[in-house]
Amino acid sequence: MLPPTDRPLSQKLRVVHLADHTGRLQVIFPESNMLDIAAVSRLTKRRFEPVMSFHSMGDPLIKPNSVATILEVSLLKATSVAIRTHHDGQYKDLCAAELQTLFSGPLNRFEPISLPTQLIKHPVDNHENDEEQILQALGRFQSIRLKQRLEETLEIPPLPVSSHRIIRLSTDKTAGTDELCDIIALDPSLAAQVISWASSPYYGAPGNIESVEDAVIRVLGFDMVMNLALGLSMGNGFQAPEDGPRHYEDFWLGSVSNAVLMESLAKAMPAQQRPKLGHAYLAGLLHNFGYLAISTILPPHFSILSRYQEANAHLPSELIEMQILHFTKEQLGSWLLRYWSLPDNIWTAIRYSKKPHYYGEHALLAKLLYLSHQLRNDGEIDPSVLLEIGLTLEEAQACREKVYQSSAELHKMVALINKMNT
């Protein structure tokens, strides 16, 4: 018998419970793979959806031979596997023969139902090639009539008038508070959101905030209000997704939480490295804009993508997007923001926010978005990113804790946005 240190590591398995109107199915596949729901449908001639999968660990094992189960066929060649048998997260090691014996009954079968993630293609490295990759991907969708340019192919909702005005204002070096307040005042819903934002206990402003001018002068500042108003007005032009992954938080809650975390991280950075707080905030607020765009522009494909994300909550979203759509939400979102003439640093940062080793233009803001994403998702953080940003892990985590402690205030701010947008 091999000593413990010389034994090969067991391959961890993921269990997912699926269901349709006639019953349940349990599927088991390597954690390093992506479940292919379409393959399951082809094999069963049924249309299953995940029952729950609210967490990255997947579902606990249902007692073998008590429910129909399909296991990934490649597991028959595994030396040893580890499967989670209870809700407490405990794994049990099995050799391949034991796994076969355990699932030898008539309700079980071994079939190709998952895909090794290393076989999934990556997005193109350079944003200049995004449009070509997205167009090629859309060519796979028979329901979409392709034209020469992406904006001619996609039915893009018009950008709100207030957004156009704020974008123009942001390029005017002589613009001041009066011009900004005049633009926001033309959109009563947007004005109410900005005032309520500044009135939030999160900012702790003394007295009542009664006007946009108060919000600018007394609490948030010109730069922050301009970027906040731009982000909110752009979001107002899109409907919040209704058929998204059930383990995802409310779209605006995720956006607002990310924005205030970006603001907190930027404030904690050394002053000489710090980006503009308003730009950090806007990048955080719009970081998931591509998700909103996919749900609005490609609703049938968004629904399929959502079911795959539920079943594969253990994988990074960009891997699932590349397999299902053949482009990522960061690619589409940054392309849209670029098309709408947002500042270069905003769309560039969003495009490269999942690449910790991006060193091109506006890399610092992109790395700040990467750090914020990893903190909010309890992911591992590349130490080189912390070094380049000028923060320790403890300082970054303290920023996250500050945001978590303010969750009640953030929920109130988000409730206001959702109310205004209905």
For residue 406, what are the contacts with CB-CB under 8 A and spacing of at least 6? 202, 260
- pLDDT at 7 (0 to 100): 46
Class of the CATH domain delimited by 4-119? alpha beta
In this prediction, residue 87 carries a pLDDT of 67
> Of the CATH numbers 1.10.3720.10, 1.10.3210.10, 1.20.1260.10, 3.30.530.20, which one belongs to the domain with range 127-154+238-421?
1.10.3210.10
User: Going by DSSP bridges, is the β-strand pair 11-20/23-30 parallel, antiparallel, or unpaired?
Assistant: antiparallel
pLDDT of residue 4: 44
- Which residue stretches of the chain have pLDDT < 70? 1-8, 53-55, 87-88, 243-249, 420-422
Q: What is the predicted pLDDT for the residue at 53?
A: 52
Strand partners, 81: 11, 94
Supply the pLDDT for residue 246: 65
The token duo for 282 is: 């806007």
Closest CA to 327 of 143, 194, 130, 162: 130
CA 213/CA 182 separation, integer angstroms: 10
Strands 33-35, 114-116: pairing is antiparallel
Query: Residue ranges of the domains in the chain?
Result: 4-119, 127-154+238-421
User: Nearest-CA neighbor of 356 among 343, 370, 346, 342?
Assistant: 370
User: Which pTM does this prediction carry?
Assistant: 0.89
Distance of alpha carbon 287 from alpha carbon 224, whole angstroms: 16
Residue 45: partners with Cβ closer than 8 Å, 6 or more residues away: none
pLDDT at 55: 64
Q: What is the pLDDT of residue 232?
A: 84
From CA 383, how far away is CA 392, in angstroms rounded?
Answer: 9
pLDDT digit string (tens) for 102-135?
999 999 999 999 999 999 999 999 999 999 999 9
Q: How far apart are CA 402 and CA 156, in angstroms?
A: 37
Q: 4-119 and 127-154+238-421 share one CATH topology?
A: no
- Distance between CA 219 and CA 222 in Å, rounded? 10
Q: Which residue has the tokens 């909110």?
A: 232
